[in-house]
Protein backbone atom coordinates (compact mmCIF):
# COMPACT_ATOMS: atom_id res chain seq x y z
CA UNK A 1 0.00 0.00 0.00
CA UNK A 2 1.81 3.11 -1.26
CA UNK A 3 -0.85 5.82 -0.69
CA UNK A 4 0.39 7.68 2.45
CA UNK A 5 -3.09 8.79 3.55
CA UNK A 6 -4.58 5.31 3.25
CA UNK A 7 -1.52 3.79 4.88
CA UNK A 8 -1.75 6.08 7.90
CA UNK A 9 -5.48 5.46 8.28
CA UNK A 10 -5.03 1.69 8.30
CA UNK A 11 -1.70 1.31 10.10
CA UNK A 12 -1.26 4.45 12.20
CA UNK A 13 -0.85 6.48 14.22
CA UNK A 14 2.20 4.85 15.87
CA UNK A 15 4.65 2.18 14.76
CA UNK A 16 7.08 0.27 16.95
CA UNK A 17 10.27 -0.55 15.06
CA UNK A 18 12.44 -3.07 16.87
CA UNK A 19 16.03 -2.69 15.74
CA UNK A 20 15.21 0.81 14.52
CA UNK A 21 18.52 2.58 15.11
CA UNK A 22 20.30 1.57 11.89
CA UNK A 23 20.20 -0.56 8.76
CA UNK A 24 16.90 -2.08 7.66
CA UNK A 25 15.15 -1.05 10.88
CA UNK A 26 16.12 2.58 10.50
CA UNK A 27 15.02 2.41 6.86
CA UNK A 28 11.61 1.12 7.94
CA UNK A 29 11.28 3.92 10.48
CA UNK A 30 12.18 6.52 7.84
CA UNK A 31 9.70 5.07 5.35
CA UNK A 32 6.93 4.87 7.94
CA UNK A 33 7.56 8.50 8.92
CA UNK A 34 7.45 9.48 5.24
CA UNK A 35 3.99 7.89 5.15
CA UNK A 36 2.85 9.94 8.14
CA UNK A 37 3.25 7.41 10.96
CA UNK A 38 5.03 8.29 14.20
CA UNK A 39 7.84 5.77 14.83
CA UNK A 40 9.06 4.44 18.16
CA UNK A 41 12.63 3.27 17.67
CA UNK A 42 13.89 0.41 19.82
CA UNK A 43 17.52 -0.63 20.12
CA UNK A 44 20.17 -1.15 22.78
CA UNK A 45 22.24 2.01 22.43
CA UNK A 46 20.77 5.44 23.15
CA UNK A 47 23.39 7.33 21.13
CA UNK A 48 22.60 5.48 17.88
CA UNK A 49 18.89 5.84 18.60
CA UNK A 50 19.33 9.59 19.01
CA UNK A 51 21.18 9.83 15.68
CA UNK A 52 18.46 7.87 13.87
CA UNK A 53 15.69 9.91 15.50
CA UNK A 54 17.35 13.18 14.51
CA UNK A 55 17.67 12.03 10.91
CA UNK A 56 14.02 11.00 10.74
CA UNK A 57 12.77 14.18 12.43
CA UNK A 58 14.80 16.39 10.10
CA UNK A 59 13.36 14.72 7.02
CA UNK A 60 9.83 14.43 8.41
CA UNK A 61 9.16 17.35 10.79
CA UNK A 62 5.43 16.62 10.92
CA UNK A 63 5.89 13.31 12.78
CA UNK A 64 6.88 12.60 16.37
CA UNK A 65 9.77 10.22 16.96
CA UNK A 66 10.35 8.44 20.25
CA UNK A 67 13.15 6.12 21.34
CA UNK A 68 13.46 3.28 23.83
CA UNK A 69 16.92 2.03 24.72
CA UNK A 70 16.48 -1.57 25.83
CA UNK A 71 18.21 -4.93 25.45
CA UNK A 72 15.76 -7.55 24.18
CA UNK A 73 18.25 -10.34 24.81
CA UNK A 74 17.43 -10.20 28.53
CA UNK A 75 14.12 -11.45 29.94
CA UNK A 76 12.78 -8.12 31.26
CA UNK A 77 13.55 -6.19 28.07
CA UNK A 78 10.14 -6.84 26.52
CA UNK A 79 8.29 -5.68 29.61
CA UNK A 80 10.18 -2.39 29.41
CA UNK A 81 8.93 -1.91 25.85
CA UNK A 82 5.37 -2.74 26.83
CA UNK A 83 5.47 -0.28 29.72
CA UNK A 84 7.02 2.51 27.63
CA UNK A 85 4.39 2.21 24.87
CA UNK A 86 1.39 1.79 27.15
CA UNK A 87 -0.21 5.12 26.20
CA UNK A 88 0.26 4.83 22.44
CA UNK A 89 -2.09 3.46 19.80
CA UNK A 90 0.38 1.23 17.99
CA UNK A 91 -0.94 0.13 14.60
CA UNK A 92 2.30 -1.28 13.16
CA UNK A 93 5.01 -3.52 14.58
CA UNK A 94 8.24 -4.11 12.68
CA UNK A 95 10.45 -6.77 14.26
CA UNK A 96 13.80 -6.40 12.56
CA UNK A 97 16.38 -7.02 15.28
CA UNK A 98 18.59 -10.10 15.03
CA UNK A 99 21.28 -9.97 12.32
CA UNK A 100 24.12 -12.36 13.08
CA UNK A 101 27.74 -11.46 12.29
CA UNK A 102 29.28 -14.09 14.62
CA UNK A 103 30.29 -17.10 12.55
CA UNK A 104 31.20 -20.29 14.40
CA UNK A 105 30.11 -23.77 15.42
CA UNK A 106 27.18 -23.86 17.80
CA UNK A 107 29.06 -25.70 20.56
CA UNK A 108 32.02 -23.31 20.32
CA UNK A 109 29.92 -20.24 21.14
CA UNK A 110 29.58 -19.10 24.72
CA UNK A 111 26.23 -20.26 26.12
CA UNK A 112 25.39 -16.85 27.58
CA UNK A 113 25.64 -15.36 24.09
CA UNK A 114 23.43 -18.10 22.66
CA UNK A 115 20.89 -17.69 25.46
CA UNK A 116 20.64 -14.00 24.60
CA UNK A 117 20.03 -14.86 20.95
CA UNK A 118 17.28 -17.29 21.98
CA UNK A 119 15.63 -14.60 24.08
CA UNK A 120 15.89 -11.90 21.41
CA UNK A 121 15.07 -13.94 18.30
CA UNK A 122 12.41 -16.25 19.73
CA UNK A 123 10.93 -15.24 23.09
CA UNK A 124 11.01 -11.44 22.81
CA UNK A 125 9.72 -11.60 19.25
CA UNK A 126 6.79 -13.83 20.15
CA UNK A 127 5.95 -11.76 23.25
CA UNK A 128 5.86 -8.43 21.41
CA UNK A 129 3.86 -9.88 18.54
CA UNK A 130 1.38 -11.35 21.02
CA UNK A 131 1.11 -8.06 22.91
CA UNK A 132 0.71 -5.63 20.01
CA UNK A 133 -1.46 -7.90 17.85
CA UNK A 134 -3.70 -8.37 20.87
CA UNK A 135 -4.17 -4.60 21.03
CA UNK A 136 -4.70 -4.24 17.28
CA UNK A 137 -7.37 -6.93 17.01
CA UNK A 138 -10.21 -5.06 18.82
CA UNK A 139 -9.54 -2.03 16.57
CA UNK A 140 -9.89 -4.19 13.46
CA UNK A 141 -6.72 -2.97 11.79
CA UNK A 142 -2.94 -3.15 12.00
CA UNK A 143 0.21 -4.60 10.50
CA UNK A 144 3.00 -6.92 11.58
CA UNK A 145 6.24 -6.98 9.60
CA UNK A 146 8.50 -9.82 10.76
CA UNK A 147 11.81 -9.68 8.94
CA UNK A 148 12.88 -12.97 7.41
CA UNK A 149 15.93 -14.21 5.59
CA UNK A 150 17.12 -16.65 2.97
CA UNK A 151 18.86 -18.34 5.92
CA UNK A 152 15.47 -19.58 7.11
CA UNK A 153 15.24 -21.97 4.15
CA UNK A 154 17.95 -24.36 5.24
CA UNK A 155 20.29 -25.26 8.06
CA UNK A 156 23.31 -22.94 8.08
CA UNK A 157 26.54 -24.41 9.47
CA UNK A 158 28.30 -21.57 11.26
CA UNK A 159 25.01 -19.74 11.79
CA UNK A 160 22.85 -22.64 13.01
CA UNK A 161 20.87 -20.80 15.69
CA UNK A 162 20.37 -17.72 13.53
CA UNK A 163 19.01 -19.78 10.63
CA UNK A 164 16.66 -21.68 12.92
CA UNK A 165 15.34 -18.40 14.33
CA UNK A 166 14.52 -17.24 10.81
CA UNK A 167 12.73 -20.51 10.03
CA UNK A 168 10.75 -19.96 13.24
CA UNK A 169 9.86 -16.44 12.14
CA UNK A 170 8.72 -17.60 8.70
CA UNK A 171 6.35 -20.23 10.03
CA UNK A 172 5.09 -17.97 12.82
CA UNK A 173 4.35 -15.26 10.29
CA UNK A 174 2.51 -17.62 7.96
CA UNK A 175 0.27 -18.91 10.73
CA UNK A 176 -0.46 -15.44 12.06
CA UNK A 177 -1.22 -14.15 8.56
CA UNK A 178 -4.18 -16.53 8.43
CA UNK A 179 -5.23 -16.22 12.08
CA UNK A 180 -5.17 -12.42 12.21
CA UNK A 181 -6.80 -11.72 8.85
CA UNK A 182 -10.24 -11.96 10.47
CA UNK A 183 -9.21 -9.09 12.74
CA UNK A 184 -8.10 -6.88 9.83
CA UNK A 185 -4.41 -7.27 10.69
CA UNK A 186 -1.97 -7.72 7.81
CA UNK A 187 1.12 -9.87 8.38
CA UNK A 188 4.14 -9.89 6.09
CA UNK A 189 7.48 -11.67 6.36
CA UNK A 190 9.96 -10.07 3.93
CA UNK A 191 12.67 -12.55 2.93
CA UNK A 192 15.96 -10.89 2.06
CA UNK A 193 19.51 -11.96 1.37
CA UNK A 194 22.75 -10.05 1.58
CA UNK A 195 22.03 -6.45 2.50
CA UNK A 196 24.46 -3.60 2.98
CA UNK A 197 23.54 -2.81 6.58
CA UNK A 198 26.11 -1.23 8.92
CA UNK A 199 26.44 -4.46 10.92
CA UNK A 200 27.13 -6.64 7.90
CA UNK A 201 29.37 -4.09 6.16
CA UNK A 202 31.46 -3.79 9.32
CA UNK A 203 31.76 -7.57 9.62
CA UNK A 204 32.29 -8.55 5.98
CA UNK A 205 32.63 -5.41 3.87
CA UNK A 206 30.26 -3.82 1.37
CA UNK A 207 28.94 -6.25 -1.25
CA UNK A 208 28.31 -5.06 -4.81
CA UNK A 209 24.86 -6.12 -5.91
CA UNK A 210 23.55 -6.63 -2.38
CA UNK A 211 20.22 -5.09 -1.45
CA UNK A 212 19.98 -1.65 0.11
CA UNK A 213 17.97 -1.14 3.33
CA UNK A 214 15.85 1.73 1.98
CA UNK A 215 14.73 -0.33 -1.01
CA UNK A 216 13.73 -3.27 1.22
CA UNK A 217 11.71 -1.07 3.57
CA UNK A 218 9.87 0.73 0.80
CA UNK A 219 9.04 -2.40 -1.17
CA UNK A 220 7.99 -4.36 1.92
CA UNK A 221 5.58 -1.66 3.07
CA UNK A 222 4.16 -1.38 -0.45
CA UNK A 223 3.41 -5.13 -0.25
CA UNK A 224 2.23 -5.37 3.36
CA UNK A 225 -1.26 -6.44 2.24
CA UNK A 226 0.18 -9.25 0.10
CA UNK A 227 1.33 -11.70 2.78
CA UNK A 228 2.25 -14.02 4.14
CA UNK A 229 5.75 -13.85 2.61
CA UNK A 230 7.45 -11.51 0.17
CA UNK A 231 10.71 -12.79 -1.32
CA UNK A 232 12.94 -9.93 -2.42
CA UNK A 233 13.72 -10.05 -6.15
CA UNK A 234 17.46 -10.57 -5.76
CA UNK A 235 16.99 -13.84 -3.86
CA UNK A 236 14.12 -15.52 -5.72
CA UNK A 237 16.37 -18.04 -7.47
CA UNK A 238 18.40 -18.75 -4.34
CA UNK A 239 15.27 -19.49 -2.29
CA UNK A 240 13.83 -21.66 -5.06
CA UNK A 241 17.07 -23.62 -5.23
CA UNK A 242 17.10 -24.24 -1.50
CA UNK A 243 13.48 -25.34 -1.40
CA UNK A 244 13.97 -27.77 -4.26
CA UNK A 245 17.32 -29.25 -3.26
CA UNK A 246 18.18 -32.45 -1.42
CA UNK A 247 18.74 -31.65 2.29
CA UNK A 248 22.29 -32.97 2.70
CA UNK A 249 23.49 -31.26 -0.46
CA UNK A 250 21.70 -28.04 0.51
CA UNK A 251 23.34 -27.87 3.94
CA UNK A 252 26.76 -28.64 2.47
CA UNK A 253 26.48 -25.79 -0.03
CA UNK A 254 25.17 -23.37 2.58
CA UNK A 255 28.02 -24.29 4.91
CA UNK A 256 30.59 -23.69 2.18
CA UNK A 257 29.11 -20.25 1.43
CA UNK A 258 29.06 -19.33 5.11
CA UNK A 259 32.70 -20.31 5.51
CA UNK A 260 33.69 -18.21 2.50
CA UNK A 261 31.86 -15.19 3.91
CA UNK A 262 33.53 -15.60 7.30
CA UNK A 263 36.92 -15.75 5.60
CA UNK A 264 36.30 -12.46 3.82
CA UNK A 265 34.86 -13.65 0.53
CA UNK A 266 31.71 -11.59 -0.17
CA UNK A 267 29.78 -14.60 -1.49
CA UNK A 268 28.17 -15.76 1.74
CA UNK A 269 25.06 -16.84 3.55
CA UNK A 270 22.28 -14.39 4.44
What's the Cα-to-Cα distance from 140 to each of 134, 187, 254, rounded to whole Å?
A: 11, 13, 41
| C-alpha gyration radius of the chain | 18
Q: Phi and psi of 230, rounded to 5°?
A: -120, 120
**Any idea what DSSP says for residue 37?**
P
Active site residue 202: no
| Residue 49 resides in a domain | yes
Residue 200: what pLDDT? 61
* Helix (H) or strand (E) run with residue 95 in it: strand 90-95
Residue 158: what pLDDT? 93
Instruction: Report pTM.
Output: 0.91
What string of pLDDT tens digits covers the 270 residues of the chain?
A: 667 778 999 999 999 999 999 999 999 999 999 999 999 999 999 999 999 999 999 999 999 999 999 999 999 999 999 999 999 999 999 999 877 778 899 999 999 999 999 999 999 999 999 999 999 999 999 999 999 999 999 999 999 999 999 999 999 999 999 999 999 999 999 999 876 666 666 656 666 667 789 999 999 999 999 999 999 998 999 999 999 899 999 999 999 988 887 876 544 334
Catalytic one of 10, 125, 166, 234: 166
Residue 201: what pLDDT? 60
| Residue 270 resides in a domain | no
| Residue 267 resides in a domain | no
Residue 263: what pLDDT? 79
Rounded Cα–Cα distance for residues 222 and 217 (Å): 9
Rounded Cα–Cα distance for residues 143 and 37 (Å): 12
Q: How many domains does the chain have?
A: 1
Residue 195: what pLDDT? 67
| Residue 48 resides in a domain | yes
Q: Phi and psi of 128, rounded to 5°?
A: -70, -40
| Residue 220 resides in a domain | yes
| Residue 187 resides in a domain | yes
- Residue 58: give its domain's CATH number: 3.40.50.720
| Residue 189 resides in a domain | yes
Residue 41: what pLDDT? 98
| Residue 268 resides in a domain | no
Active site residue 166: yes
Enclosing domain of residue 47: 4-262
Residue 4: what pLDDT? 73
Residue 257: what pLDDT? 85
Catalytic one of 11, 95, 162, 204: 162
Residue 44: what pLDDT? 95
Amino acid sequence: MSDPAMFTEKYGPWAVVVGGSEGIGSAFANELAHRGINPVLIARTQSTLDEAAEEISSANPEVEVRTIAVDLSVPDGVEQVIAATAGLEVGTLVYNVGSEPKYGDFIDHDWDMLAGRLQRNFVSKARLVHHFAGLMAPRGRGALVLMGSVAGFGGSPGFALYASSKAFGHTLGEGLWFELAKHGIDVLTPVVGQTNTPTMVKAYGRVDGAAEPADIAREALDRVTNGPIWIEDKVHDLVAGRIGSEPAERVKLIGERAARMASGNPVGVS
